[in-house]
Structure 1
Amino acid sequence: MTNRRALGVTGAVIALSLTLSSCGLVRDLTSSEGEEEPAAPEETTAQVTAEDVELPFVRQGRMFVEGGNDVAVETTVKALENDGEYLMLDFSREILEFINGDDVSYAGAPLRLVDPVSGEVLLPITDEGHGEPYGSYFIEGSDLVPIHEQLPAPIRRYFPAPSENAEFLTLTGLTAGHVPGVPVTYVDEFTPLPEPDVHDYVDPETWVIEQDLPEDEIVYPETPPEPGLDTTGFVQSMESFVDGATASTTRAGDEEVIALHADGMFEFDESDPTDAAVDTIREAAQSLRENLGEDVAITVVGHTDGKGADGYNQTLSEERAEAVRALLEEELGADFTLTTEGRGAEELLAEEGGDDDEEARARNRRVEFSYEVPMADNGTEGGGGLDTATRHVGPPAPYFEELDPFTTVAHEDLDLNVYPMVRDGAYLFQMVGFQNSTLTDLEADLEGDEASLPGSPQQYTEGTMGGFRLEEPGTGVIRYVIRIRAGEGEYEDFADEILTLSPGEEYLALAVFPAPGPEVGEMTLYAGAFGEIPGVPVQ
């Protein structure tokens, strides 16, 4: 969201941002020297219900301010209520430092609530009439509010209720990073708002301060959403991409696609499977048994690279899909409905014609299994299937407070503080801190040859932190940054954008990945231009 700053007799006004800030991260679950290891997060959270967790959660951090000085902000999460149709998030924001500048805007990741088990992403609901979010306002329909440095301002925002009855949700937003374990309270009616008093202090017509501001808190009016709104546009899903030597798996919401790399299954320009293809199909069949119930429709789709005539590619893709279907049917029996399609070179994953043309073309030559999985059916168990196709889902992570960096690496004049990863439901949340080591403002340059593997799907390597990826030790399986499906064919990385950095201060950022198995205790992080960082702990 782009916000504006206006000046008045109060000194300044600024947008009532939809974002939160944080420099507190997560409680350090690693033991001190000589102490016993604590229980694993799965064991801890299994014994905790939402009623056992007390709010508020308090976080501090630095907020990017365009047109002015970046400032420290404290955010307090006070309540998250579910009335069966909407979620109401009640929090307060206090700007801890004075903002300079006349034309001010905030930038960064939007406020989101995430169900880390299902992968559902919830956004604040906006009013179709004026485009501003339901909840707190100073002048209805406007995003401008007075700046009250060092005075908490309560804010309410409304979201769609999640599809599943989640006890805990995860909150993310501008420099808030990862705020897991926010308990959901189920109510018949939302808690009434205290009597608004901001207009007793600041005239909404003239922006003149009528009397001294209170010392404890100032309350804004709000507009809650009326019942029955269509909120489908404010519900998104996380898309994961896990890549291995023989196959990759993509999942978004209830849609899953396993892609077998055709070069390991077919000779050049041939449609008869090789002997190695039989082993790959057997592993894929085991994965399908684990991921699905019986009587599920699976579409087998053949793809080629962009080289060659369209007609030839179409025929080859159809023949390969049919050959794989026949092998798969032998393995699965009659419990699944299998159909085939050939799409030739219509849906290229990697861009061809560049320096990595050979790898890109190999990426595009593939045979896919496409099917639907119920949202509630998230985890899989068993063995013998494809490493990339196993879904690892644990319970939501509890709320933590602070965490020390695991290591610090440098690229030119920029330091990167790497924090331990936190396993939250089906995902790993990786916090990093960018720090300008010079004495002047610095534009973060994160591009570099290290940002992507040759032949990587281009949509997973774009954006400031899109080049980040994880490698699982031992298996070589690669996990890419999660993308959020915003609409048909519309995606954005679930990774924060990094803007101009002031000297000395740490700016926290978040990248989210699909989780590995529970036995994995560390991962190798490839941090774009910062290179390879082995042994980052998972907790």
Structure 2
Amino acid sequence: MARKTTVTAVALTVTGALLLSGCTATADWWSATFGGASGPPEVREEFPYVREGRIFQDTGQDNEMTFSITGLERTDDYTVMYYEVTYADEFSGPNRNLSMAHTLIDPLTGRVYRQFLDEDGLKYGSESPGGDGLYPVHDGVTNEYVRYFPRLPDEVEQVTFLGSGLGAMTGIPVQDVDAERPDPENPNGADHLTLDDPPPSGESLTFANRRPDEDAVADEGWVQSFVDSEVASTTRDGDREIISLHSDVMFAFDSSDLTEEAEEVVRRAAATLTANVDPDDPVITVVGHTDGIGSASYNDALSVDRAETVRDLLAEEIGSGYTLEVEGRGMDEPIAREGGPDDEQARARNRRVEFSYVYDTSTEVSDEEDYDDDAIGAAQRNVTWPAPYTDDPGSAVASGELDGIRMDVYPLRRDGAYVIGTFSLTNTGDEPRIPDLGGTEAVMAGGPEQFNKGTLGGFQLLEPESGLVRYVAQMDFGEGRYSSFAEEVHMLQPGNTYDLVAVFPAPAVDVEGLTLRAGPFGEFEEVPVEF
């Protein structure tokens, strides 16, 4: 969540980062998990890390841009990112880049960090010469920038960066330094504000530097993921996990009496809970929910009765050593919107019994022996090594066209606990267009509304063999503030191609291909999953 920090109090503690240690245990884990597969990959320490492509501008002048991260350094107080931006094409007038906010993600723990802002929402670091957040841009001239993020935990050695507008940049190393680089000696950005006054040939634009003060605020949060199956779904947010059992599998209609399937479902859930619950915080809260049919008082009572029934059965299966608590929330917390064209599916999803608990981060790595056939597949965490950096998404493996827009699909790449989907959209027509790729009209009937939001919210990954469905992840910054873990799609200009990413929770390590559900573009089978 957003938090006010002083310049000396921004360190965080994150556990479960064994994979970053570089010790023998890492190699042993890799060998046990992946057998003879090559890896873990070496971290490339040399900067810069460079991306090129076309980005969205609010004026529609969607120009080719080169974005280079020239340093990511951890001091005693901050994480400082140095980067450069160069535009090749002509601009006229003020433009704003429409990419998401600069974001650093630890792909192993799912921790998320954004840059420090002041009370007016302006970035610390390189100052806007006019104080309005805009910077002068000249054709072929490089702008040099500095930005400040919260100090990353010591064990984090590489991160994934989003926010350039050019997709995910994985495997960016974090370098420890004793002090920041010196500020620009003679910042010249304010001297070249107009297009007819470029800097001398070969000279970059630099800006005065402003460090975070006591009023600085940086958003910090967690990646929130959602995996669904016919029996259960799992929502993971930081160290909190919620396994949701579908009530229609557990109970007869309008009843708290268990179905014949219920005992088997709870037994499988118990196996998952014993593997996942943090032994230092062994509290499992059993929460009952109903749909919106009937009175609030009736649904409150029914939700409590169902939660207590499940609690009693779980207690028999899970044994001692856990504290089981019960809550009934009736119809107060729907996760799918009722009353629409998919009303029956939405109500069925809202009827559920949840297990909420803190999970054990020491089981974060994906060792198949830790999970057996009795565990609920939707709750399995699958974590591999962070993806090494690459500026090449590979060759397109599928494509489709809809209303003058072509979408190309590239291989999925594993990155820690996630897989990164890379897509390109090309406007093959003669007029600017905004494709409708997401939202509640483009998702599975009755899908969870929160994970439908964002332009690519309707995209999903399906495991054909297990039936598990993986939704585009969200970033949770607390206080009800979420951001889709995907680049937004804006107006596509004629003839232009734009690269986009969407990030999903990772499947098991032996899954080599997934079906992509791409909203109105339909389904693409056997999209390969690569390390």
- Please give the range of the TM-score, normalised by the shorter of the 2 chains: 0.7 to 0.9
Mapping of residues 225-304 of structure 1, within 5 Å: 225-226=212-213, 231=217, 233-294=218-279, 296-304=282-290
Q: 1:237: how far off?
A: 1.3
Which secondary structure does the structure 1 equivalent of 2:316 belong to?
helix
Q: CA–CA distance in 1 between the matches of 2:141 and 2:57?
A: 18
Count of paired positions: 492
SS for the counterpart of 1:431 is: strand
Contact 2:440 2:449 in 1 (8 A): no
CA separation in 2, counterparts of 1:40 and 1:229? 47
Per the alignment, residue 358 of structure 2 pairs with 372
377-386 or 502-511, larger mean C-alpha shift:
377-386
Q: Does 1:137 align with 2:132?
A: no
Query: Who is 2:28 aligned against?
Result: none
Residues 163-202 of structure 1: pairs in structure 2 closer than 5 A: 163=153, 165-198=155-188, 202=191
Once the 2 structures are TM-superposed, how far is the Cα of residue 149 of structure 1 from its aligned partner?
1.6
Closer/same/farther in 2, CA of residues 127 and 81 from structure 1, 3 Å limit: same
Q: Structure 2 vs 1, CA of residues 524 and 229 (structure 1 numbering), >3 Å: closer, same or farther? A: same
1:83-162 aligned within 5 A? 83-100=75-92, 102-128=93-119, 130-139=120-129, 141-162=131-152
C-alpha deviation, 1:192, in angstroms? 2.2
- CA deviation after TM superposition for structure 1 residue 230, in Å: 6.4
CA gap 1:184/1:103 in 2 versus in 1, 3 angstroms = closer
Question: Per the alignment, do residues 154 and 242 of structure 1 end up closer, same or farther by CA in structure 2, a change over 3 Å counting?
Answer: same
What letter corresponds to residue 271 of structure 1 in structure 2?
A: S
Provide the residue aligned with 2:40 in structure 1: 46
2:508 is the alignment partner of 1:508: no
Matched, 1:528 2:519: yes
Which of 307, 328, 338 matches 1:321? Answer: 307
Residues 188-227 of structure 1: pairs in structure 2 closer than 5 A: 188-198=178-188, 202=191, 212-226=199-213
* Conservation of the 8 A alpha-carbon contact between 2:122 and 2:133: yes
- Note the residue ranges of structure 2 that are not aligned, 5 or more in a row: 1-32
Aligned mates of 2:199, 2:179 — CA distance in 1: 34
Contact 1:435 1:501 in 2 (8 A): yes
- In 2, Cα distance between equivalents of 1:125 and 1:424: 26
Task: Report the more deviating stretch, 477-486 or 60-69.
Answer: 60-69
- Cα distance in 1 for partners of 2:100, 2:363 equals 29
What is the rounded CA distance, in whole Å, between the counterparts of 1:512 and 1:446 in structure 2?
15
* 1:500 aligned counterpart, secondary structure: coil
For residues 69 and 36 of structure 2, the distance between their equivalents in structure 1, rounded to whole angstroms, comes to: 24
**Following superposition, which runs of at least 4 residues in structure 1 exceed 6 angstroms of deviation?**
39-42, 208-211
Cα distance, 1:225 vs structure 2:
2.2
1:72 maps to 64
Task: Kindly provide the amino acid, as one letter, of the partner of residue 40 in structure 2.
Answer: A
**Is residue 2:431 matched to residue 1:440?**
yes
CA distance in 2, matches of 1:395, 1:532: 28
Per mean C-alpha deviation after superposition, the further-off stretch among 293-302 and 389-398 is 293-302
The answer on 1:358 being equivalent to 2:348 is no
Q: Tell me the residue number matched to 1:11.
A: none
Equivalent residue letter for 1:347? E
CA deviation digits over 1:438-467, x for unaligned, max 9? 122222233699721111112222331111
Q: 1:82 to 1:256 in 2, by over 3 A?
A: same
Change (3 A) 1:114 1:282: same
Which string of whole-angstrom CA distances, capped at 9 and with x for unpartnered residues, describes residues 351-391 of structure 1?
11222111111111110001123667534532220000011
Structure 1's unaligned 5+ residue stretches are 1-38
- Distance in 1 between residues matched to 2:484 and 2:331, nearest whole Å: 25
484, 496, 499: which is aligned to 2:487? Answer: 496
Describe the SS at the equivalent of 2:146: strand
Question: Aligned to 1:58, what secondary structure does the other structure show?
Answer: strand
> Pairwise mapping of residues 314-463 of structure 1 onto structure 2 (< 5 A)?
314-373=300-359, 378-379=364-365, 381-383=370-372, 384-402=374-392, 403-446=394-437, 451-463=442-454
Q: Does structure 1 retain, via aligned residues, the 8 Å contact 2:291–2:330?
A: yes
* Equivalent pair of 1:240/1:251 in contact (CA under 8 Å): yes
What are the Cα deviations for residues 81-125 of structure 1, in whole angstroms up to 9, with x where unaligned? Answer: 01143110111000111113x353321322211111111111110
TM-score scaled by structure 2? Answer: 0.87
Aligned pairs for 1:18-29 within 5 A? none
The alpha-carbon distance between structure 1 residues 322 and 362, as it changes in their structure 2 partners (threshold 3 A), is: same
Question: Offset of 1:284 from its aligned partner?
Answer: 0.6
Tell me if the contact between 1:118 and 1:376 (Cα under 8 Å) persists in the aligned partners. no
Shift of residue 203, structure 1, vs aligned partner? 6.1
Deviates more, 1:316-325 or 1:456-465: 456-465
Question: Distance in 1 between the 2:507 and 2:378 partners?
Answer: 9
Offset of 1:47 from its aligned partner?
5.2
Equivalent residue, structure 1, for 2:20? none
Q: Which letter maps to 1:334?
A: S
Q: Is the 8 A contact 1:107 1:174 kept in 2?
A: no
Cα deviations by residue, 1:208-263 (Å, 9 ceiling, x for unpaired):
9778524152322211224x7765x4112111010001000001111110000011
Instruction: Determine if contact 2:276/2:360 at 8 Å carries over to the other structure.
Output: no
State the TM-score, normalizing by the size of structure 1. Answer: 0.86
